[in-house]
Structure 1
Amino acid sequence: MGVLKIVGIVLIVAGAAALSYKQFSYTKETHDADLGALHLSVKEKESVAIPAWLGGGAVVLGIVLLVLPSRKS
């Protein structure tokens, strides 16, 4: 299996995941303080939206890479 076929499969899977989840979130530590034995930290939950056109474009590009004929020299 060629590299383009593997990249195509990865793009299809990633695009399908982007279309189904629509956003992902992560926790970011913003402040940190040590006052003797007391340790304080503030964590904020961030959320990033994934545009639908990006997920759809990844699926379409992956299908195009799978359909393209392989070059053999």
Structure 2
Amino acid sequence: MSAVKMMAIVLIIGGLLGLVYGQFSYTKETQQAKLGPLELSVKDTETVNIPVWAGVGAIVAGGGLLLFASRKS
């Protein structure tokens, strides 16, 4: 399988996951204060929303790459 076909499949799967889930979260730890041996830190949870147009665009781009790769070979 060529690299172009693999990239097309990754784009299609990523686009489908973006449409199904729509968002993902991650935890970021930040250091607030350090007083001698005592260190205070805060864990923030960030949420990233994935727009619908990005998921659809990834699926269309992956499909186009897949068609282009199959016609070329």
Bin of the TM-score, shorter chain as denominator length: 0.7 to 0.9
Identical counterparts, % of pairs: 52
Q: Which amino acid aligns with 1:70?
A: K
Task: Tell me the CA shift for residue 37 of structure 1.
Answer: 4.6
Return the alpha-carbon distance in structure 2 between the equivalents of residues 13 and 34 of structure 1: 44
* Paired AA for residue 67 in structure 2: V
Q: Which has the higher helix share?
A: 2
Indicate the RMSD between aligned Cα atoms, in angstroms: 1.5
Q: How far, CA to CA, are the matches of 2:3 and 2:37 in structure 1?
A: 54
Deviation larger for 59-68 or 6-15: 59-68
Aligned partner of 1:7 in structure 2 is 7
Question: Structure 2: which amino acid aligns with 1:44?
Answer: D
Structure 1 counterpart of 2:72: 70
Unaligned runs of 5+ in 2: none
Q: TM-score, normalised by structure 2?
A: 0.82
TM-superposed deviation, 1:43? 1.1
Check whether the contact 2:31–2:39 (CA below 8 A) recurs between aligned residues: no
| Residues 1-73 of structure 1: pairs in structure 2 closer than 5 A | 1-68=1-68, 69-71=71-73
The alignment's TM-score, normalised by the length of structure 1, stands at: 0.82
Alignment length, in residue pairs? 71
